[in-house]
Amino acid sequence: MSRRRRYTPELKKNSNITVNITSLTDMFTVMLVFLLQTYNTSEVQIEPPKDVRLPSSKSESVLTQSYQISLSQDALKANNEVLAELKNNEFETKDQEEKDPNFIKPLFAHLDKKMKENSDKNVKEGKLSLLVDKALPYLTIKKVMYTASMAGFPQIKLITTSQNQ
Amino acid sequence: MGIKKIKTHYDEFELDLTPLLAIIMKLVPVLIITSSFLQLTQIDTDLPQVIKEAIKNQDANKDKPFSLVVSIDKTRNVTISAKSDNKEDNYEVKSLNQQIDFKGFNEKLILIKKVNPQIFKLTLTPDESVAYDEIVKIMDEARKPRESKIEFLFKDSLTGKDVKTDYMFPEVVFGNIFN
């Protein structure tokens, strides 16, 4: 019994094969439009820390250059450096001034040092961006704002995710 | 001599999409790498620096002193206090199931803004237990009316002309930072 021969189409040696790329172009055009729409034109790129869940806001203000501080449910950080730790949404007693519990000593020391060392215009003007976890109570944020203003950072910007996107 | 085929406009022609695809293929990876899908925004808050703010307030409200204070208590009741030189009006927005009534708060602010269109500043004094998320929402509600059709007419101090705006109280100052 002879085996059935597999069918192979006859191709001429010099024939051109044209691949239809129309559907591929369609797909890439859709992708391109989507990417251009979501493209962020802001000069400042802020990457929020993983442990901070930012609240969403309808604010349309564009991000501006400033010194950044993040406040999660566990720690207060500046440039990934832990300045103070939090327990049950409160700063530890050792980090607070005895007579003035709103004053966070490590934060003041850090910001004061930055203000003296740094020649950056935004730091000199006292611009500070706060990346705060949305679940934190006002008491904790108030302490950070109070200490920041004491250290010469009165222009505080609250960073949020955009609700308009 | 062969017979020439007569071309008609019904004949199909193929557009060469290869260069277009080549450009898109280069653009797409660049955009994927450089774009950030999380769009961030910021809310500016000025802290009440005693001297600086006092001067600013005096300058702004020499003829008609006015202050608008929004307080949020532990039970999420909101009190709006509108003080002018000769009278004080208090409005209360009761909480709904231990939550701030954001819609009611927005409606009350629209009423106040209609009476005081020149005022854009609001002092916020939340209770220490109020969550940051709630504060941001309150600031959002104070910024613009929920209904986009509502606009307010105010006089531009520089040109003297009437200007329409949908902004209510975009400038929020925390009043109890130093308390």
The β-bridge partners of B38 are none
Q: Which long-range contacts (CB under 8 A, 24 or more apart) does B57-63 make?
A: B60/B121
Q: Is residue A132 part of a domain?
A: yes
* pLDDT of B15: 78
The answer to whether residues B133 and A160 touch, using CB atoms and an 8 Å cutoff, is no
Contacts of A109 (CB under 8 A, 6+ apart): none
Q: Is residue A10 part of a domain?
A: no
Q: Is residue A6 part of a domain?
A: no
Q: Phi/psi of residue B168, each to 5°?
A: -105, -80
Q: Rounded to whole angstroms, what are the CA distances from B120 to A43, B1, B2, B117?
A: 28, 88, 85, 8
Q: Is residue A35 part of a domain?
A: no
DSSP state of A30: H
Fold of the B45-174 domain: Nucleotidyltransferase; domain 5 (3.30.420)
| Best of A19, A52, A57 to mutate (most B CBs within 10 Å, chain B) | A57
| Euclidean distance between CA atoms A43 and A46, whole angstroms | 10
| Euclidean distance between CA atoms A108 and A111, whole angstroms | 5
Q: How many beta carbons lie within 10 A of that of residue B22, not counting itself?
A: 10
Contact B131 A137 (CB under 8 A): yes
Q: How many beta carbons lie within 10 A of that of residue A160, not counting itself?
A: 26
* Window from A123-132, B131-140, B149-158 with minimum mean pLDDT: B149-158
Q: Is B56 on the interface with A (CB under 8 A)?
A: no
| Euclidean distance between CA atoms B152 and B163, whole angstroms | 8
Contact B133 A48 (CB under 8 A): no
Which of B37, B135, B176 is the closest to A38 by Cβ?
B37
Q: B132 pLDDT exceeds 80?
A: yes
* pLDDT of A1: 53
Contact B47 A161 (CB under 8 A): no
Mean pLDDT taken over chain A: 85
| In chain A, % of residues over pLDDT 70 | 88
Mean pLDDT taken over chain B: 81
B76 Rama sector, left if φ>0, alpha if ψ -120 to 50, beta otherwise: left
Q: Is residue A75 part of a domain?
A: yes
Contact A160 B41 (CB under 8 A): yes
| In chain B, % of residues over pLDDT 90 | 31
* pLDDT of A30: 92
* pLDDT of B6: 63
Q: Residues 76..95 of B with a Cβ closer than 8 Å to A: which?
A: none
Residues B28-66: pLDDT tens digits? 888 888 776 667 777 776 544 443 443 354 455 555 677
| Euclidean distance between CA atoms B138 and B78, whole angstroms | 10
Contact A63 B36 (CB under 8 A): no
Q: Is residue A128 part of a domain?
A: yes
Q: How close does chain B come to A9, measured CA to CA in Å?
A: 25
Q: Is residue A153 part of a domain?
A: yes
The answer to whether residues A128 and B42 touch, using CB atoms and an 8 Å cutoff, is no
The answer to whether residues B124 and B105 touch, using CB atoms and an 8 Å cutoff, is no
Residue A144: in which H helix or E strand, if any? helix A138-150
Contacts of B100 (CB under 8 A, 6+ apart): B72, B76, B78, B93, B134, B137, B138
Q: Is residue A116 part of a domain?
A: yes
Mean pLDDT of B74-101: 90
Contacts of A60 (CB under 8 A, 6+ apart): A164, B41
* pLDDT of B49: 45
* pLDDT of A159: 92
Q: Which of A50, A43, A53, A41 lies closest to A159, judged by CA?
A: A53
How many structural domains comprise chain A?
A: 1
Q: B16 pLDDT exceeds 90?
A: no
* Window from B12-21, B67-76, B163-172 with minimum mean pLDDT: B12-21
More reliable by pLDDT, A159 or A165: A159
Residues A65-119: pLDDT tens digits? 889 999 999 999 998 899 999 999 899 999 999 889 899 999 999 999 988 887 7
Q: How close does chain A come to B87, measured CA to CA in Å?
A: 30
Q: Rounded to whole angstroms, what are the CA distances from B127 to A107, B6, B130?
A: 23, 86, 6
The domain of A133 spans 56-162
* pLDDT of A2: 56
Residues A14-41: pLDDT tens digits? 667 777 888 888 999 999 898 888 776 6
Q: A61 pLDDT exceeds 70?
A: yes
Chain B residues in contact with A86 (beta carbon < 8 A)? none
Chain B residues in contact with A46 (beta carbon < 8 A)? 40
